[in-house]
Structure 1
Amino acid sequence: HLEHKAAETIMIDFAGKKLRYTDLASGEVVECQVFIAVLPHSGLIFCMAVPSQRTADLADCLNAMLLYYGGVTLIILCDNLRTAVTRPDKYEPLFTDMCYQLSEHYGTTFSATRPAKPRDKAMVERSVNIVYNHIYGPLRNQVFHSLKELNAGIAACLEKLNNRRYKGSSYSRRQLFDNQERPLLRPLPSSPFTLKRAIQATVQRNYHIQLSEDHRYYSVPYGYVGKKVKVLYDNKTLEVYYDHTCIALHHRSSLTSAYITHPDHMPSNHRYALQAGGFTKEELLTRAGRVGPQTALAVEHMFSGSIYPEQNYKACHGLLMLQKTYGPARLENACARALTGSRINYTLIKNILRSGLDKQLPLPVATPLPQHDNIRGAAAYQ
């Protein structure tokens, strides 16, 4: 006898027998796979029909199952399905990418039974037989014309089954689940799991990987140049993994440019070049004010001397960068000397600093000659 802890494990399986519906347009009888899950503590069963056991259909089943239960368990136990397990092993099975993605999304863990050991998931094996009796049986004489109609019929029978009292007891699967398991389940995320496509890519010398599907390039930290990485993406996001660690995350959009680059992924010299191309007038004036009032006035003059102030952004930035070579005090003096002239630009101030004119005393201001009887005025030449 095995004791199962509440909200610890969900056991899943596909039934051996199939259900079917008849297509109205063609009259074809379409057979469907039947997915079955059970919470072994309460015995609450989930069941739905899907077109196949392929990866996308299995992902839809797991989404619907967790939504039905209203929460997540610690473990999802399956047998060695080809769409779930890529390498069966008694101690360390290897799962498919879909299982690892779903585990991360819902915060759960996949586990697999030992190969050829159905007793490891005896509860779901027993649940398959219960489904045969209480769902397959009542539906055997009904004709459905779509997969949606078939699942509606399954859902109606499933509710009766889960609300039926256990033999010799006063409670049902549903009552036992509501009282003992539902409060212990982990909460569901805000959105259902979306299966991501996976590719291998090599990080190019410009620290971007190419997604040929939309002809766009996405950045990764520049230290991974030349490395082979795994890329998982859907219609909304793109994730880049190296050695099972996520190194980059991007939002996909058809409106973005061909290169989607995160500044933190860039080396310092590239980040500086990006910043130099993205200045605003207010930012440059603020930086000039930190140097001194003469520098701020010089930058103001440079902006006013152009019809389009944006043309002088780079020159103003270059002027402010002179303080790294000559210091803010000398830059302030050079700007003060330049302001005595009629035109101010980056080259003028740079030449003042290079030649040391900022260190010289200011030129004396010419004073007018005093009035004197021996000096003829302008009236003498009329």
Structure 2
Amino acid sequence: MNVLKPHLQTTVLTLLAAGKSQREIERVTGVDRKTIRRLAQRQAEVNSPTPATGIGAQIPPPRPPANRPSSCEPYREWIEAQLRLRRNYTAIYQDLVDQFGFTGAYNSVKRFAGRLVQREPEQFDRLEFAPGEEAQVDYGEGALTRVPGSDRYRRPRLFVMTLRYSRRSFRRVVWNSSQQTWAQLHEQAWRYLGGATRYVVLDNLKEGVIKPDLYEPELNALYRAVLAHYGVVADPARVRDPNRKGSVESAIQHTQSTALKGRRFESIEQQNDFLEHWETRWAAQRIHGSACRQVQAMFEEERAHLLPLPLTGFAYFTEYERTVDDATCVRIDHSSYAARPAPIGSRVLVRLFEHHLELRDRATLALLRTHPRAQRRGSVLLPPEERPYNPSRETRSILAQAQQIGPATLALCQQWFEHDGRVGHRRLRGVVGLARRYPRRIVEQACERALRDGVRHYPSIQALAEQLLQQALAALEAPVQGELDLTQHHHLIRDGDAYADLFALGAQASADL
């Protein structure tokens, strides 16, 4: 308990005895008016020998009248006109000084004008919901938690789902959020609560809503699929309208100020365990202010009205858009998958699951094709009867480049096209592309060996070209061995004595000079 210091008590009592108002004493001493009032009452009781209502009671000195006229009263009409123009108090005070020679203080104008302003209290429509009808979700900030593998602490994201009828909540903290994390937290909440609500109200965050719109907001595909799996309808709140989901906003604030305030955790699992304990032990046992009932008791009533959960959880996927190539395939993770009946050149949606993938129409989301995931890079999941073998413009362009390299390269590319069809275009482009890194003669020799040995893989052709190039470089750098075969007898070659006389004459001529 805070006790006013003795010297301040003496100062306050002295000013009270001098007839100063409590507001003026507060401005001079900095002591709150409630404290000043208690000191005045205590001093009156000490100085009174009989009860204050009895005979002989000592009446404290009279206070100045509280309703004395303000120094702004002569300017009431002018101030009211300025307030109707929505001018602020500072502008009104400055004009009073400049135009009317006002000598009062700014605070006098502020108090006087504040009493004239008609303030209507902000009103909200309180919405009532049936049990199991609506849940509200949002993100907040959790308590400081140690980052794994370091001594640094930071705040994770706090996910809260609150049932609108009973105010029972599910709370979890995660380090990072994504579309899949957001959807998985919904699943965990429904499993924890034992069922799902008909509607879920969320904010317009990117994990749930791609394009906010008042009439037709666009949800991301993964979140929309998860809601459909559990039979839940999303109801995104309007932009900058947090009051639509006031229950979860209050739950987040209550969690941060009561459960997590001033706490630190060594791991995110420790914080989640604490939140679950706190929800069961304290938050669910509280008496809700507006309902005047225990949260857990209302939740027991609501539990029977929640939607039953499906037997299996949702299978999560990653969604891509791909173009159908002229081989009627789409390429995912370096493998090709048949896309018929989608036409060549069209865009399709690819949903990539853990063990399989789905091809869907981009406009209607109708299922076109299902394939198991390829186990090896470079695989082609296309039945032989669906492979197009008629040459396209790309086929003719590749074969023309192969012909420029050499006849063996052209023969190899034609053989591969007859076997694979247009699906083999990628390998054919790889073969003719070797001419950009190796001499054409090397590529031609590699293709000759591939034809002779029946090689059908591009990496093998590339390895052959690299091997031939290294052999050619080694042959150029090898030293010349052995002696040259010199001719010893010829009609142009003279005797050795003739060359000796010539050298002697040359030496004598040099000496004479």
Q: CA deviation at 1:198?
A: 1.9
Q: Partners in 2 of 1:253 and 1:127 — Cα distance?
A: 46
Conserved 8 A contact 2:131-2:305: no
Conserved 8 A contact 1:63-1:193: no
Conserved 8 A contact 1:72-1:188: no
Q: C-alpha deviations, 1:110-135, integer Å up to 9, x for none?
A: 22101111121122122222223442
Q: Which residue number in structure 2 is paired with residue 173 of structure 1?
A: 295
Q: Aligned pair 1:147/2:268, yes or no?
A: yes
| Candidates 152, 164, 167, aligned match of 1:43 | 167
Specify whether residues 219 and 106 from structure 1 end up closer, same or farther in structure 2 by C-alpha distance, changes over 3 A only.
Answer: farther
Q: Aligned pair 1:89/2:213, yes or no?
A: yes
SS at match of 2:321: strand
Q: Which residue number in structure 2 is paired with residue 185 of structure 1?
A: 307
Q: C-alpha deviations, 1:181-227, integer Å up to 9, x for none?
A: 34431323412452x2222112234433221x1x3222233353332
Q: Aligned pair 1:10/2:10, yes or no?
A: no
Q: CA deviation at 1:98?
A: 2.8
TM-score for the superposition, normalised by structure 1? 0.60
Specify whether residues 227 and 123 from structure 1 end up closer, same or farther in structure 2 by C-alpha distance, changes over 3 A only.
Answer: same
Q: CA deviation at 1:255?
A: 7.2
Q: C-alpha deviations, 1:334-365, integer Å up to 9, x for none?
A: xxxxxxxxxxxxxxxxxxxxxxxxxxxxxxxx
Q: Which residue number in structure 2 is paired with residue 116 of structure 1?
A: 240
Q: Partners in 2 of 1:62 and 1:145 — Cα distance?
A: 25
Conserved 8 A contact 2:342-2:368: no
Q: Which letter maps to 1:10?
A: A
Conserved 8 A contact 1:10-1:40: yes
Q: Partners in 1 of 2:149 and 2:325 — Cα distance?
A: 52
Q: CA deviation at 1:34?
A: 0.7
Specify whether residues 170 and 80 from structure 1 end up closer, same or farther in structure 2 by C-alpha distance, changes over 3 A only.
Answer: closer
Q: CA RMSD in A?
A: 3.0
Q: Partners in 1 of 2:280 and 2:337 — Cα distance?
A: 48
Q: CA deviation at 1:95?
A: 1.9
Specify whether residues 260 and 87 from structure 1 end up closer, same or farther in structure 2 by C-alpha distance, changes over 3 A only.
Answer: same
Q: C-alpha deviations, 1:145-166, integer Å up to 9, x for none?
A: 1111111111111112343042
Q: CA deviation at 1:19?
A: 1.5
| Candidates 329, 351, 355, aligned match of 1:236 | 355
Q: Which residue number in structure 2 is paired with residue 220 of structure 1?
A: 339
Q: Which residue number in structure 2 is paired with residue 252 of structure 1?
A: 373
Q: Which residue number in structure 1 is paired with residue 260 of structure 2?
A: 136
Conserved 8 A contact 1:87-1:95: yes
Q: Which letter maps to 1:3?
A: E
Identity score, percent: 20
Specify whether residues 24 and 110 from structure 1 end up closer, same or farther in structure 2 by C-alpha distance, changes over 3 A only.
Answer: closer
Q: Partners in 2 of 1:135 and 1:155 — Cα distance?
A: 11
Name which of structure 1's ranges 97-106 and 240-249 shifts more when overlaid on structure 2.
Answer: 97-106
Q: Which residue number in structure 2 is paired with residue 311 of structure 1?
A: none
Name which of structure 1's ranges 183-192 and 36-45 shifts more when overlaid on structure 2.
Answer: 183-192
Q: Which residue number in structure 2 is paired with residue 19 of structure 1?
A: 143
Conserved 8 A contact 1:99-1:110: no
Q: CA deviation at 1:172?
A: 3.2
Q: Which letter maps to 2:300?
A: D
Q: Which residue number in structure 2 is paired with residue 282 of structure 1?
A: none
Q: Partners in 2 of 1:40 and 1:97 — Cα distance?
A: 26
User: Where do 5+ consecutive residues of structure 2 fail to align?
Assistant: 1-125, 390-513
Q: Partners in 1 of 2:136 and 2:343 — Cα distance?
A: 40
Q: Partners in 2 of 1:24 and 1:232 — Cα distance?
A: 32
Q: Aligned pair 1:127/2:248, yes or no?
A: no
Q: Partners in 2 of 1:158 and 1:262 — Cα distance?
A: 56
Q: Partners in 1 of 2:288 and 2:199 — Cα distance?
A: 28
SS at match of 1:101: helix
| Candidates 30, 53, 66, aligned match of 2:154 | 30
User: Rg bigger for which structure?
Assistant: 2
TM-score for the superposition, normalised by structure 2? 0.46
Q: Whose RCO is larger (CA < 8 A, sep 6+)?
A: 1
| Candidates 98, 105, 121, aligned match of 2:229 | 105
SS at match of 1:184: coil
Q: Which has the higher strand share?
A: 1
Conserved 8 A contact 2:135-2:200: yes
Q: Which letter maps to 1:222?
A: P
Q: Aligned pair 1:58/2:58, yes or no?
A: no
Q: Partners in 2 of 1:250 and 1:176 — Cα distance?
A: 48
Q: C-alpha deviations, 1:317-349, integer Å up to 9, x for none?
A: xxxxxxxxxxxxxxxxxxxxxxxxxxxxxxxxx
Conserved 8 A contact 2:341-2:368: no
